[in-house]
Amino acid sequence: MLAAPPPVAAPTPAPATPTPAAAPPAPPPAPKASTSSHPPLKCPMAGTFYRCPAPGEPPFVKVGDKVHKGQVICIIEAMKLMNEIEADHSGTIAEILVEDGKPVSVDMPLFVIAP
């Protein structure tokens, strides 16, 4: 006659410890307040704002520069793609409202172009 094996207690799973959720990404910094009465050129997409075409190169524009409609005035990097942003009308760059290399969001004011 064979003896039955001794009863073994089934392991009980340890209570699951909740994993802390990752903190949401910080919102982009607030743009500088414009002192102009002219409407600003707003960002069409979220990404990173760059004033220069490449590191070490001069910026596309600076305050006081004359620009024409369709002229590239900055780059927004979004999902590893460099998107050229063009002036929406001709005029003079009155203000640059975002610092180079900073994150931007949709509809954030970027430039003031005085006619």
> At 71, which CATH number?
2.40.50.100
**For position 38, what pLDDT does the model report?**
87
In this structure, is residue 62 part of a structural domain?
Answer: yes
Digitized pLDDT (tens) for each residue of the chain, 115 residues in all:
666 666 666 556 555 555 555 555 555 445 455 566 889 999 999 999 999 999 999 999 999 999 999 999 999 999 999 999 999 999 999 999 999 999 999 999 999 999 9
In this structure, is residue 20 part of a structural domain?
Answer: no
Q: Which of 101, 98, 104, 103 is closest to 63 using CA atoms?
A: 98
In this structure, is residue 2 part of a structural domain?
Answer: no
In this structure, is residue 105 part of a structural domain?
Answer: yes
User: How many domains does the chain fold into?
Assistant: 1
**For position 54, what pLDDT does the model report?**
94
The CB density around residue 60, as the number of other CB atoms within 10 Å, is 20
In this structure, is residue 8 part of a structural domain?
Answer: no
In this structure, is residue 79 part of a structural domain?
Answer: yes
Strands 40-42 and 47-50, by their bridges, are unpaired
Domain range for 106: 40-114
pTM over 0.85: no
